Amino acid sequence: MKNFLSKLFSKEKKTYPICSAVVAAAGSSSRMGGANKLLLPLEGIPVLARTLRALDDAQLVTEIVIAARGEDLLAIGDLCKTYGISKPVKIVRGGDTRASSVLAAALECREDGAFIAVHDGARPLAEPELIDSVIQLAFRTNAAAPAVPVKDTIKVVEDGKVVSTPDRESLRCIQTPQVFDAALLRAALQAAVAADLPITDDCSAVERMGKEVYLTEGSYENIKITTPEDMALAAAILQRREELG
């Protein structure tokens, strides 16, 4: 991937479409015991700060728009200053659902922006090279996301009883950032919000519009922090990265 990106950016005169990054950071953190997981320290640095640093270092991200809880607006603003986020940052109040939060942020992105990359605030281990590779695919396809093969066998269950076992070879775990043509994403989210649909990822909203989403290779290290166990795993991944240099 690094060789690919070095070739990608070696042509200094080449220009790329403007891509804004929307960070979904308005969740309740209910499975973390009520504390805002995004502000918890991960190896000494808040989870959200690590997420923002990766977006700040991604070469194809132009600006960052964060959808946050009202009570966290000031704290996140201070965090951006403390950890030296250099790209333009906007912080907006999120909604009651993921779709409404991402839509609120998407509507605040640059009007001349052609693409929007939506990233979970709780995915602090996405590396800049991964972010750029997904954006680059979206430039060609209008809708792209990183994914990894499912490791476990998956069962479809109804009333506590297994009803089917999907072929694991065809299953993927979808990650973020998920990157879309800006107009397409806004239209898809507006439709999802209007229909009050329980959208858990932005690809789902776009798929409802009949649009194809293309996948690129993700990383098993690009985990989402949801429970205390995830924090321990993320710390172990960071320690391993440091050991490997």
Count the Cβ atoms, other than its own, within 10 Å of residue 18.
18
For the residues of 17-48, what is the DSSP string, one character each?
Answer: --EEEEEEE----GGGTTS-GGGSEETTEEHH
Q: Which residues contact 153 (CB under 8 A, 6 or more apart)?
A: 165, 168
Answer whether 206's CB lies under 8 Å from 213's CB: yes
Task: Please indicate, yes or no, if residue 12 is contained in any of the structural domains.
Answer: no
3-state SS assignment for residue 173? strand
State the CATH number of the domain containing residue 231: 3.90.550.10
What pLDDT sits at residue 7?
54
Task: Please indicate, yes or no, if residue 92 is contained in any of the structural domains.
Answer: yes
What pLDDT sits at residue 15?
87
What pLDDT sits at residue 88?
98
Task: Please indicate, yes or no, if residue 136 is contained in any of the structural domains.
Answer: yes
User: How far apart, in whole angstroms, are the C-alpha atoms of residue 16 and residue 7?
Assistant: 14
Number of domains in the chain: 1
Return the structure tokens found at 135: 């954006």
Which range of residues forms the domain containing residue 212?
17-145+174-244
What pLDDT sits at residue 34?
67
Answer whether 62's CB lies under 8 Å from 18's CB: yes
Give the position of tokens 């964060």. Answer: 66
User: How far apart, in whole angstroms, are the C-alpha atoms of residue 230 and residue 214?
Assistant: 27
pTM: predicted TM-score of the whole model, two decimal places? 0.91
Task: Please indicate, yes or no, if residue 169 is contained in any of the structural domains.
Answer: no
What pLDDT sits at residue 3?
56
What pLDDT sits at residue 28?
74
Task: Please indicate, yes or no, if residue 8 is contained in any of the structural domains.
Answer: no
Residue among 228, 226, 140, 124 at smallest CA distance from 176 = 124
What pLDDT sits at residue 161?
97
Please state, in angstroms and as integers, the Cα–Cα distance from residue 193 to each residue in 150, 189, 205, 226, following that order.
Answer: 29, 6, 9, 24
Answer whether 200's CB lies under 8 Å from 104's CB: no
What radius of gyration, in Å, describes the C-alpha atoms of the chain? 18
Answer whether 66's CB lies under 8 Å from 55's CB: no
Residue among 227, 59, 55, 50 at smallest CA distance from 125 = 50
What pLDDT sits at residue 27?
83
Instruction: State the burial class of residue 73 (Cβ atoms within 10 Å of its Cβ: 0-12, 13-18, 19+).
Output: middle
What pLDDT sits at residue 32?
72
Residue among 245, 235, 8 at smallest CA distance from 125 = 235
Q: What is the pLDDT along the chain (245 residues), one digit of tens a residue?
A: 555 555 555 545 578 999 999 999 998 766 676 678 999 999 999 999 999 999 999 999 999 999 999 999 999 999 999 999 999 999 999 999 999 999 999 999 999 999 999 999 999 999 999 999 999 999 999 999 999 999 999 999 999 999 999 999 999 999 999 999 999 999 999 999 999 998 889 999 999 999 999 999 999 999 999 999 999 999 999 999 999 97
Residue among 115, 70, 109 at smallest CA distance from 89 = 109
Q: Which residues contact 53 (CB under 8 A, 6 or more apart)?
A: 83, 85
